[in-house]
Amino acid sequence: MIKTNVIIVGGGPAGASCAWQLRRRGPDCLILDKAVFPRPKLCAGWITPEVVADLEMDIATYPHRFLTFEVTRAHLFGIGLTMRSPQHSIRRVEFDHWLLQRSGAEVITHQVKHIERIPRGYRIDDRFECDALVGAGGTACPVYRSLFREINPRARWLQVAALEQELPYAWQDPDCHLWFFEKGLPGYSWYVPKQNGYLNLGVGGMAQRLQDTGGSIHRHWEHFVATLRRRRLIDMDLALEPQGYSYYLRNGVRRIRHENAFLVGDAAGLATRDLAEGIGPAIRSGILAADAIADGGEYSLDSVSRYSLGAGLPRRALAYGLSRQRVASPAVETPDPG
């Protein structure tokens, strides 16, 4: 039996940041992840200046691809809008591995299946024991499934379905482009260049609204690829094979702590309501959970923003367009207090 103070299930941005902060604060921790790192992760890899600040990152010494866009070009019903606020892109396969290594925590490749409450804490798969447990396993997190699903049901109407592909490509346009609500998509599509000739393309939308309206994320992908070709953002003959993934936008999130178990990142469903940004909330929540464990204090999401954009009309319009609830949807969720 391997025993330690804290076990973190999942070594993505949420789990790695939690481990990084725990190791700075004192408690021993161990990360269990089913994947061997570096592992691919479907994600556009857009990160904000807040992420860089939370991680105390020195961009000059980051050893992998890192690109800063001075402008983001938003396309809304045929109108082009320019957002002048520097944002960054990384490749998740590199960034996540770097975060994990930087944490200095021990990582064991193990797929967590069974979690048991024991007097002293938690036992995992009859092999590991800990006092505190952190669920950082993303959308399919076993800690969420075992300990939180009943008390914190996921809001089906806030589930995002996404198709995306990251590929080596000698892009010509260095700006990030976002197309909102094209052809009735309840979401947006993106073109995110990465440093040294990588490109990420994707389409994401609210799964239930797509289903209710007979929409298909694959049809939206085809429309998106046609737009990219028409605008000469990609070659006409570029062959693409996107992959799918899903995650949840932030709801009221009733419980993120239960006894000595904590939920962070996508396991808690923390992606922002307006732009579905998940990396920043994952990292911030991981750090906050670590502080709560180290201090024996409260774990609160008060400082984890529900939105990526500042207050104002664009944010309200996007949050409404992405995550307005259809009347027909089952109302088992808590209302969003934000």
Ligand X SMILES: Cc1cc2nc3c(=O)[nH]c(=O)nc-3n(C[C@H](O)[C@H](O)[C@H](O)COP(=O)(O)OP(=O)(O)OC[C@H]3O[C@@H](n4cnc5c(N)ncnc54)[C@H](O)[C@@H]3O)c2cc1C
Site residues (CB under 6 A) for ligand X? 9-15, 32-35, 41-46, 111-112, 136-138, 140-142, 162, 164, 202, 204, 245, 247, 265-267, 271, 277-280, 282
Q: Which is nearer to ligand X, 193 or 278 (CB)?
A: 278
The Cα 194–Cα 205 span in angstroms is 23
Q: Which is nearer to ligand X, 106 or 232 (CB)?
A: 106
Q: Which is nearer to ligand X, 215 or 265 (CB)?
A: 265
State the residue number with the nearest CB to ligand X.
Answer: 278
Q: Which is nearer to ligand X, 34 or 73 (CB)?
A: 34
Token duo for residue 255: 């419980």
Q: How far is the CB of 300 from ligand X (least distance, A)?
A: 18
The Cα 36–Cα 77 span in angstroms is 42
Q: Which is nearer to ligand X, 43 or 185 (CB)?
A: 43
Q: How far is the CB of 72 from ligand X (least distance, A)?
A: 12
Q: How far is the CB of 292 from ligand X (least distance, A)?
A: 17
Q: How far is the CB of 139 from ligand X (least distance, A)?
A: 7
Q: How far is the CB of 328 from ligand X (least distance, A)?
A: 25
The Cα 70–Cα 276 span in angstroms is 20
Q: How far is the CB of 178 from ligand X (least distance, A)?
A: 10
Q: Which is nearer to ligand X, 148 or 247 (CB)?
A: 247
Strands 159-168 and 176-180: unpaired
The Cα 170–Cα 317 span in angstroms is 34
